[in-house]
A and B are shown apart, each in its own frame.
Chain A
Amino acid sequence: MSQAGRTDAELVRRCRGNDADAWNELVERYSRYVYAIAVRGFRLSEEDAEDVFQDVFTRVYTRLDSLRDDTALRPWIAQLTRRRCLDALSARRDVPADEELTKEGSSDLSDVEEAFEVREALAGLSEACQDILDRFFTRDQSYKTIADELEIPSGTIASRIARCLGRLRGELEGRNQDDEGSRD
């Protein structure tokens, strides 16, 4: 199974077994997420974000056994990160940290969460779907360019993208249902 296809629960089980590769994979999978919450969500400086990053993964390493639901790794890491970011803000300024979170910051935080969820859901799609969505939405390629490079009829590109988006929505809805189930 590819790294992208391994579930968080499987990853957690392997980390609990002291599998060094699994730990590396966990850090690789969540490093950008933690960093994005710190920088985009809480507007921390790079230096503070680096401190948060180190602290969060140290806590994940030492407290993984306290995670009650192996499928809830991401919300747990998000919670650890948010708390550590608030600590960092409090330490830097003489104002209550909660008041530092503006509506804009909260919105950015929500964007980070959403972007990460989409990225995870994308990994559940076929390579063909991942490729065509990446070309259109990330690389801003035109239908003509996509058709030429993939050697498929230009008139079918928009429909293919629409179908892949439908599958992506299915993946996301499945994940959200899983998340709600894991909170019960």
Chain B
Amino acid sequence: MAGDYLELQLGDFLDRLSADGLAPGGGSAAALTVAFSARLVAMVARSTLAWEEAAGVAAQANAIGERAVELADTDGRVWEDALTALRDAEAGADDDPRRDFALEQKLEAAAAAPLEIASLGADAAALAALAGEHGDATYRADAAAAAALAAGGASAAAHLVRVNLGVRSADPRLARALASEQAAHDVAARLLESHR
């Protein structure tokens, strides 16, 4: 059952993730990956004393982290709703326009959460880029790790947008998700390359 992830210990959440059932699933995991990324950026910023914007970057990173954790919860809930509706549709009569409309609405809602997660991934990566540039040298590898996590979360989320929207490639939401994914990956590639 989805919900209340914020109340769980990390180990309990991981147990739920690996259990059979609907949620949490890929969207929630992607959201938490972005949250890890954002909190890592906050750590780098807080650990860098000689950076005037450090406190402001840490505050933004923490805000992004909080939103991502909330989305982990939201995604589990809307995906569970959508999957239940999908199974009902499969079990019902072939032609029911009202049911099909309701199902489409739920799938669209299920796409909205990962779209936000992908966007947060891009923002976390943008902050990781700043941390990689201005952060204390001791912590720059953490900034690169944060960018890699942000890119992973954004990629996973963009994939879920694509799936939930039913592969309508012209949908502007998919284009936004893919743009977020690309932005996060560009940062991650740059920061990881700088550490090779």
Question: How far is A144 from B116 in the complex, measured between Cα atoms in Å?
Answer: 12
Residue contact A142 to B53, C-beta cutoff 8 Å = no
- B48 neighbours in A (Cβ, 8 Å): none
A interface secondary structure, majority: helix
In this complex, the member of B59, B122, B180 whose beta carbon has the largest number of chain A beta carbons within 10 angstroms is B59
Give the docked Cα–Cα distance between A136 and B63 (Å).
Answer: 9
Instruction: Report if A174 contacts B (CB, 8 A).
Output: no
Contact A136 B60 (CB under 8 A): yes
B55, A166: Cβ atoms closer than 8 Å: yes
A158/B127 in contact, CB under 8 A: yes
Which residues of the partner chain A approach B119 to less than 8 Å between Cβ atoms?
142, 144
- Across the two chains, which residue of chain B brings its CB closest to A168? B56
- Rounded to whole angstroms, the CA-CA distance of A162 and B56 in the bound complex is 4
Contact check, A158 vs B130: say whether CB atoms are below 8 A apart. yes
- Please measure, in the bound complex, the distance between the C-alpha atom of A161 and the C-alpha atom of B55, giving whole angstroms: 11
The complex places the Cα of A140 from the Cα of B65 at a distance, in Å, of 12
Residues of chain A contacted by B130 (CB below 8 angstroms): 158-159
Task: Report yes or no: A158 in contact with B60, Cβ–Cβ below 8 A.
Answer: yes
B113 at the A/B interface (Cβ < 8 Å)? no
A-facing residues in B89-125 (Cβ within 8 Å)? 119-120, 122-123
Contacts of B122 in A (CB 8 A): 142-144
Q: Roughly how many angstroms separate A143 CA and B126 CA in the complex, as a whole number?
A: 9
Question: Hey, which chain B residues are within 8 Å of A169, CB to CB?
Answer: 55
Q: Which of B43-59 contact A (CB under 8 A)?
A: 52-53, 55-57, 59
Nearest-CB residue, chain A, relative to B59: A165
**Docked-complex contact A155 and B53, CB < 8 angstroms:** no
- Contacting residues of chain B (110-155) with chain A, CB-CB under 8 angstroms: 119-120, 122-123, 126-127, 130
A163 within 8 A of B: yes
Known: A137-B63, A159-B130. A165 touches B123 (CB 8 A): no
CB A158 to nearest CB in B, in angstroms, measures 6
Q: Which residue of B lies closest to A159 (CB)?
A: B53
The digit string for A127-171, where 1 denotes a CB below 8 A from any CB of B, is 000000000110010111000000000110111011111100100
B67 proximal to A (CB < 8 A): yes
15 A/B residue pairs, CB under 8 Å, sorted by A: A136-B60, A136-B63, A142-B123, A143-B123, A144-B119, A144-B122, A144-B183, A154-B126, A155-B126, A157-B126, A158-B126, A158-B127, A158-B130, A159-B53, A166-B56
A144-B119, A158-B126 known; 8 new pairs, CB 8 Å cut-off, are A136-B63, A137-B63, A142-B120, A158-B127, A159-B53, A162-B53, A164-B56, A166-B55
Q: Which 3 pairs show the lowest CB-CB distances between chains A and B?
A: A162-B56, A162-B53, A165-B56
